[in-house]
Amino acid sequence: MAAPEEVWIPLVDEPIGAIVSEIQRQNPDIEQFAEAPRRLLAFRTFAYIRVGILLGQLLVEEDVGPYDGSGTWVDGILQSPEHRELVVREVRAVAEEVAADPDYDDETIGPDDAARERFVEFAKRRLATDT
């Protein structure tokens, strides 16, 4: 089986990915929910999206001072313990939802045997008509 790093496709650039990773490291209960490759991919995908949406909402709802060159607006928002806790709760909620979803129980990656067989038949028909 491929290592998690081999199946991971980066979907987002910093800082959201760094925030989610940091929350995972700081919260072992969250880390355990996303141990398998399929769960990890689903977790990261949905966590990045939902954290991005939450940060966008906080940006609209909160006054952010003018840029002083010391950090990003995300850093400014996350300085508030209340906002940081909201982000941690969102990441935890994603982890729990992914863990509870039986669709991620199958740890195989890639098509199942039936899909492979359909592809083989398709390829045989296609190759036969091309020659």
CB 51 within 8 A of CB 87: yes
Q: What is the mean pLDDT of residues 23-47?
A: 84
What does the pLDDT average to over 17-31? 88
Residue whose token pair is 């928002």: 77
**What local confidence, expressed as pLDDT, does residue 115 receive?**
87
Q: How many other CB atoms sit within 10 Å of the CB of residue 110? A: 8
Looking at residue 7, what is its pLDDT?
47
What does the pLDDT read at residue 52? 92
Q: Where residue 1 falls among pLDDT bands split at 50, 70, 90?
A: very low
| Calpha distance 73→56 (Å, rounded) | 10
**pLDDT, tens digit, for every residue of 65-75?**
776 777 777 88
